[in-house]
Amino acid sequence: MASFSMEDFVGDGALKGLLPKLLEEGWDDVPTLKIMNSEDMNAINMSPQQKDALEIRSYLHDRALMQYGDILEASGKGLPELLNLSTGDMSSQFGMKRGHIARFMDRTSACTSPLHIPPRRTTGITSRNNSIYKAYVSVNSSKMQNRTGSLRRYNTNSDKSLEQSLADFKIKDGYIFKGIVAAGPPVSRACGCVQPPPVSENVAPYSVIENISVQKLTPEYRIGVERLVKSKTPPMKASELWREKPAVILCIRRPGCIMCRAEAHQLYAKKPIFDALGIQLFAVLHEYIEPEVKDFWPRYWGGVVVYDQGMEFFRALGGGKLLKDKFLSGFLLNPRAIANYKRAKATGAELNLNGEGDIKGGLFIVGGGKSGIAYQFIERNFGDWAPVAEVIEICAKLQVILVGSLILYCNCCPV
């Protein structure tokens, strides 16, 4: 699985000397850099060699083949020319393994799904990252019409809570939906001899999470930032995280777990979408082991990492108590967990066994200010992920609700 470190992404090639310029222009994290278009490249005077390097490295990053970045770039060939080489040429010229060649040649085999930026409301200031700006301007018009209709409906019900406004949202792909609480399906274990643990069917009250004490362990990743917060930061209320902007709160069971790493990587890969929607990304740990944090950030996750020493976010997911499972019954005898492990292993993520791994995690989407919890996903089976498409759709709906409320407020205010 490819790292989200900018230094790892650019390697020793033509992009390395461009890092200061990329930082200056706001192309300062890997997911954002990968959506740069030709107009953006011309705006910062990228050379043809640098443009080819970015195309090659973005393609390799999607396929977890970044170990070949320097040698492919040094060949002087562009991506189209490389894709037309034979298997023998790829092996003899670049030392690429046969399995890696198959992944490289398969243009549909990206380890992460294609990035489609949803629309965000324009302002009088053009985005410094023109690719993101164009992506939301050129969004499918029918989707915009659907959201306009939704906006009208929300305008007439702006006094509803986020929970009520999202209560009719449907979860697909076999996920159980109870209002705005979702979880993976219960799975029979050991031929029905072991029952899956029950999960809460009610969303956690906002009052349960707003005063949770958390401590910041890492900043949001940018080129050249310190790997960890240098000095121990004082605890703060969790509500400070989403005081100004909505937030996705990813509760990590164990940062060394291959399934947790794969989930975090898949979610952070969509950072430009969340940026376009005005959504922040936070990962929450219930155990602080410094080497584990260093291995996790920014390789698998470039958002802010915070420490919840009291495990209160995890208790909130469990309806007031920690949702736990044992390795034997929860993993070895659980076909769903085994399938989740295989899915994560296919991404190329590495793993270790350090730390507490029995406490289940999950995900919250929290509206800005005190507007409430918009979505809650519970890790019923080890390795269950909140479906990324559902998370993005909820965030998009959340944006419509908040914008609709703002429009109604403005319409009601005297001129």
What is d(CA 8, CA 10) in angstroms, rounded to the nearest whole number?
A: 6
pLDDT of residue 219: 93
* 121 found inside a domain: no
One-letter identity of residue 94 = F
Letter string b/e over residues 36-50, b meaning 16 or more CB atoms within 10 A of that residue's CB: beeebbeeeebeeeb
Question: Tell me: the pLDDT tens digits for 278-312?
Answer: 999 999 999 999 999 999 999 999 999 999 999 99
Strands (E), 272-340: 280-285, 304-307
Q: What average pLDDT does this structure show over 8-33? A: 94
Q: 159 Cβ partners below 8 Å, 6+ apart?
A: none
pLDDT of residue 360: 96
What is d(CA 37, CA 129) in angstroms, rounded to the nearest whole number?
A: 10
Identify whether residues 63 and 168 lie together within a single domain: no
What is the SS3 assignment for 48? Answer: helix
Identify whether residues 74 and 215 lie together within a single domain: no
What's the angle, vertex CA 319, arms to CA 313 and CA 324, rounded to 5? 75
What is d(CA 145, CA 277) in angstroms, rounded to the nearest whole number?
A: 17
Q: 89 Cβ partners below 8 Å, 6+ apart?
A: none
Residue 111 clears pLDDT 80, i.e. is over it: no
Q: 42 Cβ partners below 8 Å, 6+ apart?
A: none
H/E stretch holding 176 reads strand 176-178
Give the relative orientation of helices 141-155 and 388-412 as an angle to the nearest 10 degrees: 50
Identify whether residues 88 and 207 lie together within a single domain: no
pLDDT of residue 133: 36
* 141 found inside a domain: no
Identify whether residues 375 and 291 lie together within a single domain: yes
**Domain final position from 105, 130, 154:** 105
Q: In terms of pLDDT, which residue wins out, 111 or 164?
A: 111
pLDDT of residue 77: 95
Identify whether residues 101 and 168 lie together within a single domain: no
Total of domains in the chain: 2
Q: Quote the domain boundaries for residue 34.
A: 6-105
Q: What average pLDDT does this structure show over 227-241? A: 83
Least reliable range by pLDDT among 247-261, 267-281, 389-403: 389-403
* 135 found inside a domain: no
Query: What strands, in cross-sheet order, belong to the sheet with 362-366?
Result: 176-178, 181-183, 373-378, 362-366, 247-252, 280-285, 304-307, 213-218, 236-237
One-letter identity of residue 36 = M
Closest C-alpha among 241, 209, 175 to residue 320: 209
* 413 found inside a domain: no
Least reliable range by pLDDT among 148-157, 229-238, 297-306, 328-337: 148-157
**Domain final position from 85, 105, 125:** 105
Identify whether residues 236 and 369 lie together within a single domain: yes
Give the pLDDT band (50/70/90) at residue 231. low
The two structure tokens encoding residue 371 = 């507007």
φ, ψ for residue 181 (rounded to 5)? -105, 130
What is the SS3 assignment for 180? Answer: coil
Beta-bridge partners for 247: 280, 366
What is d(CA 28, CA 24) in angstroms, rounded to the nearest whole number?
A: 8
CB neighbours of residue 212 within 10 Å: 22
**Domain final position from 84, 105, 126:** 105
Identify whether residues 173 and 96 lie together within a single domain: no
Identify whether residues 181 and 101 lie together within a single domain: no
Identify whether residues 217 and 311 lie together within a single domain: yes
Q: What average pLDDT does this structure show over 333-348? A: 92
Closest C-alpha among 302, 278, 301, 305 to residue 365: 278
Residue 167 clears pLDDT 90, i.e. is over it: no
Q: Is 413 a catalytic residue?
A: no
pLDDT of residue 318: 94
What is d(CA 281, CA 364) in angstroms, rounded to the nearest whole number?
A: 10
Q: Are 381 and 339 in contact (CB under 8 A)?
A: no
Q: What average pLDDT does this structure show over 93-119? A: 78
* 411 found inside a domain: no
Residue 177 clears pLDDT 50, i.e. is over it: no
The two structure tokens encoding residue 314 = 């995890």
Identify whether residues 272 and 363 lie together within a single domain: yes
Q: Is 257 a catalytic residue?
A: yes
Residue 267 clears pLDDT 50, i.e. is over it: yes
Identify whether residues 83 and 169 lie together within a single domain: no
Among 257, 395, 410, 412, the one annotated catalytic = 257
Residue 141 clears pLDDT 50, i.e. is over it: no
| Percent of all residues in the chain with a pLDDT value above 90, rounded to a whole number | 62
* 415 found inside a domain: no
pLDDT of residue 115: 56
Identify whether residues 72 and 193 lie together within a single domain: no
What is d(CA 163, CA 202) in angstroms, rounded to the nearest whole number?
A: 11
- CATH code where residue 216 lies: 3.40.30.10
Among 260, 395, 410, 412, the one annotated catalytic = 260
* 412 found inside a domain: no
Give the pLDDT band (50/70/90) at residue 119. very low
* pTM across the whole model: 0.81
Give the pairing type, strands 236-237 and 247-252.
unpaired
* 134 found inside a domain: no
Q: Are 277 and 396 in contact (CB under 8 A)?
A: yes
What is d(CA 381, CA 200) in angstroms, rounded to the nearest whole number?
A: 14
User: Within 13 Å of residue 137, how many CA atoms lie on the same side as its CB?
Assistant: 10
